[in-house]
Structure 1
Amino acid sequence: MNLGKQGEALACKYLECKHYRILEKNYRKSFGEIDLIAKDKDILVFVEVKTRNNMNYGLPCEAITPSKIRAIERVANFYVTQRNMENCDCRIDAVEILMVRGKAYVRHTENISGF
């Protein structure tokens, strides 16, 4: 399993332990993708997962740029519209995973945009 898939699997387990319900994994459209879509109580949560095994390219969160957030927002808007969920409360979260010497360090940041 590659590092990205490993990170997404860990993020799923982490969120499920926090009582999130995973609805979709790797939701893809031609104009973008969302790693995980989940429910946190009544809130629809679009989750970007970033995984690193070293700090050569910085922290995982540094790869979540404003343009990446805008792309997630476009796909999230499409998802909500297609499912007639416009009245649902939504947010975009980030789950960062740093794998060091066989240990995973997880940081979850809620509501990384004004979505």
Structure 2
Amino acid sequence: MNNREVGSWGEAEVVDYLKKKGYLIVEKNYRTRYSEIDIIAKTGNTICFIEVKSRKTSKYGLPREAVNRKKQNQIIKGAMTYIKYRKLTTFSYRFDVVEVFLNDGRINHIENAFWV
């Protein structure tokens, strides 16, 4: 699998995982001029902006380590655009990172991984 296929497979796995946990998937691969948000989901009164990181191995570090401050700022800008465009001012918001480990199929959901 190339990197794009790994990413797509990981995102599909996370969508299934979130649905099983009762999340409503609102958007996938939402693009703005600032960034792409992998998954936007709703749970209760909270809109979750979710970055998915999939890895075949941990040879180069944990998947979550790839969500550095620059990437976080891009996601935050994209989320602010989404909130403004959709007029979603009555919700709570959260930024999550979900790690997918292809070698053992493990999924690690980190809620509130970063904030504004």
TM over 0.5: yes
TM range (shorter): over 0.9
Give 3-state SS (helix, strand or coil) of 1:50's partner: strand
**What amino acid is the match of 1:112?**
A
RMSD of the alignment, in Å? 1.1
Give 3-state SS (helix, strand or coil) of 1:15's partner: helix
Matches within 5 A, 1:1-115: 2-100=5-103, 103-115=104-116
**Cα deviation digits, residues 43-98 of structure 1 (max 9, x gap):** 00000000000122111011010111111000000000001112311111010001
Q: Which segments of 5 or more consecutive residues in structure 2 lack a partner in the other structure? A: none
Give 3-state SS (helix, strand or coil) of 1:111's partner: strand
The TM-score, its normalising length taken from structure 2, stands at: 0.93
**What amino acid is the match of 1:114?**
W
**Percent sequence identity over matched residues?**
39
The TM-score, its normalising length taken from structure 1, stands at: 0.94
**Cα deviation digits, residues 3-28 of structure 1 (max 9, x gap):** 00000000101111110000000001
In structure 2, what is the Cα distance between the partners aligned to 1:113 and 1:94? 9
> How many pairs are equivalent?
113
In structure 2, what is the Cα distance between the partners aligned to 1:49 and 1:71? 14
In structure 2, what is the Cα distance between the partners aligned to 1:23 and 1:35? 11
